[in-house]
Chains A and B, each alone.
Chain A
Amino acid sequence: MHIPTITRPLAFLPPLLLLLAGCATTSTAPPALKAPADPVALSAALNRISWGVNTSTYRQAEKIGYSAWLERQLHPGAAVLPAAAQAQIDAMTISQKPLPQLVQELEQQRRDYDKAMVDDDAKKAAQRAYQQEMSRLAKEAATRSLLRDLYSPNQLQEQMTWFWMNHFNVHQGKSNLRVLVGDYEEQAIRPHALGKFRDLLASTLHHPAMIRYLDNEQNAANRINENYAREIMELHTLGVDGGYTQNDVQQLARILTGVGVNLGDKTPDVRRDKQSQYVRKGLFEFNPNRHDYGDKVFLGQTVKGRGLAEVDEALDRLSRSPATARYVSRKLAIYFVADEPPPQLVERMAARFLSSDGDIAAVLRTLFDAPEFTQSLGKKFKDPVHYVVSAVRLTYDDKIILNAGPMLGWLNRMAEPLYGRQTPDGYPLMAPGWDSPGQMITRFEIAKAIGNGNAGLFKTEGAQPLEKVAFPQLANALYYQSLQTSLAPATRQALEQAASPQEWNTLLLSSPELMHR
């Protein structure tokens, strides 16, 4: 793995004027700012660690102190969402039916129409209904995800859930993944988002969404499919320069043979001597008939052929490799610090990764305590998800939206829909992926929709809302206490020229400062 040895001085970073951080008061590196005392610095730190600063998050951190707030973020308890948000989640089909049941009902529906329908039009209509139901379930999952981003007290856990969903990317457009993505996020990713990397890696490997997305269902002894094996090493653990060879890809693929998905209620006829090896957990299946029981030489060491335990051994090696520590740490630093993160910070994080046996919260603690983190505040360009979520959080604070549809639509327009990245590499985390001319103009249109207060976030499908939507109040105490101070002169000048409160909102949400975190 190539480790650049030259530290990029902060002065070489793009001159983005004075941004939210507002910490450009000294030219020498300030000490680690563990407990930002002044409102501007506190607001800037919260803005990066949460899905975007808003009044309630600010008040909470102010009340218990930044250190205690950060500690709670790194080691969160059960997330208690506001009742109005939780009620929306509870009403969802994906909350009410366990995944195997959901999948089986849908598959049954498909089989039924295939058998029963004779004429093409009826068949088409039935197929459309099946497709629509899958899309509806995926939309439920995306809505649930956004509600948590907006309102969960465990903001860091939610940011990390998005990060890992992107790191272990699956695409909802493949096969029946629209039914699986919600469970993947809820069961495989979120519970481990701040835990041990090894557990996270294993839980993605055992989820049907991942197995199906990267074709491991097709991977069987003497009929090797390398897709998943390659991506585990290239994208999930070691990184493309992590020191593995094509032969390691093939060996890992052999190790992964037999790891598959079983959606039905039938159990395969496993040969007698291997019956005890058969594993079925939910929709996950390990089928010994399909496994290659020969010995493998993987990353320079022999893996004795013995079934599913080989996978555990491979994951142990991968998750404890220094290459993985560096690769994952660097990606975290790109997400939380800068497009080109300081190499020394990455090295410290990687060292913590290894010394803590891949404890994600411990690695993040190293990151958040670093002076490089504090110095970077306000300078990271928001990707569309961060832009949309932070704008709605800032604008409406804890007033619970009733319809996530407009937000999902905006993410589509900006090309970053949840579960919508087709390739396994996940969405780009750096500015060039998201700051194209068309996308900037789209952001301003979205800023205006939010700023005007008529975007439809409080319009339920069907019945009209009982109360009239409160006009967004962006010019509030939080603004005057912290945000205002960090605005560049050009932004203030524009705001002064606003002809109406709506226009003032639109301009603030369109400003360069609000495009960064």
Chain B
Amino acid sequence: MRTPPGVSAEDFAAAIAAFQAVVGRDWVFTSDEDLEPYRDAYSILWSEPDERIASAAVAPLTAEEVQAVMRIANDKRIPIYPISTGKNLGYGGAAPVLSGSIVLDLKRMNRILEIDERSAYALVEPGVTYFDLYRAIQDRKLNLWIDCPDPGWGSVIGNALDYGGGYTHSSYRNHFDAHCGMEVVLADGEVLRTGMGALPGARTWQQNKYGYGPFVDGLFKQSSLGVVTKMGIWLYPAPEAYAAGVIGVPRKADINALVDVINYLENTVTMQGMPVFASPFLPLGFAVPLPPGMPSSDASVVEQEAYAARTNTPFWTVTVSYYGPPEVVKAQWEYTKKKASAIPGASFSGGDVIAMPPKPEDLTGMLSKSPFGIPALSIFSIGARSEHSDPTEGHITCSPIIPRTGEGITEAYELIQKTAQRLELPVTVLTPPIGCWARTFVILVMMAVSHDPEKNKRTRTGFRELIKILADHGYGEYRTAPAFQDDVMATYSFNNHALLRFHEAVKDAIDPNGILSAGRYGVWPRHLREKKS
């Protein structure tokens, strides 16, 4: 039996027995067989000595049980790693960052405590998935939408805490921004509520996230400071209509003006859906068979623009979309066309107003239903066996945040393409710039994971170098797999790592025994920092 680092076999056994007394024997897992599914299925350290593996898992049913578990763990100095649904694939799955930690599996806590149609919010427990919340709304015939990420089986809480993003209205698709009110169990078993929730009997816990005094919710984003046992999430009053149109521009440099127009539309909320940029000339990590005569992404701009002009192909397109009353949506598309017409040669297509809720034919052919707030798993076709690719064992993703400008896109792509080619990184997908958050783009550089340690080792080396090169150019990652969390944290180094030192000071104060999510996002408790240095 594996024991947590620094924990004696006796203390471990005593803790396991105490956990069993709290949650019941069936919900404490210690056998290799039961712990196998707690491995990170997409681990870039698969079967290597450094793979992050749990020594046990404990699955409580209530916040009170979470408190009891934390008290025992704090007493016996047992490292604990909470997960909600544990489907953080590509970023760690259900496995802990510190090997040997006990996973606190919150999946059984799956109650939807409240859905308020008039105020458009839900209060949920960690095990509630997007599928669950969607179904509950449908079953009750509530006039509400959710915003979900592509994988519908994830946790509303887990995704928001890891700074996840979705696809619908700009006010909802930044999931951490759309949360309102948390209940948090601290490392010593103490429970607190944030925002208005600190007022006993509060009537507005899910309406006013800031409450009174400093805003502390951010301390629990991508952190190791608490176990979130309840969270409010703002929902979207079901829109009456939806429309999507495509703007095309003829020249490469037109992207600069195009992004500026989109930013204006988005920042004035004239456009609410996620803008989706595309170009046939983007250096994608994969080849679609190029149409005859089409220059590759490496060709000169002159050649590419000549081809675009000859074939009447826009160099760039952006799909813009709107949610709202039909007449408003229509007017917003008309206004968009007027605004973007300032770009010479701009072309427009689409813009049909579709009444909501979507009819089956509106969904036909849509491979992701996320823009309509409908959870699914179709995204997993990426990496699965297909006509043209072998199945992978999952992927890891380098996720740099880049400026929301056309110049930013051009520079970042050139840098990523050049670096990935030089390092021979197994890039399977390099996404167009994704605008899920209002003020920046994120580019996802997805790399295949394998069960061959040699291949994974090369990928890790290249990934680490890519992180550094991106950081040297001012691009920081927003989220990463456990194998690279220290590397990314090291790049946020202003003033001799003042931010990390601050995180460490807070960690030492809130969790002095350093038992909660040790190492997550590069923050290690004191006793492990000392060991590392």
Binding partners A and B = no
Interface positions of A (Cβ within 8 A of B): none
Interface residues of B (CB under 8 A from A): none
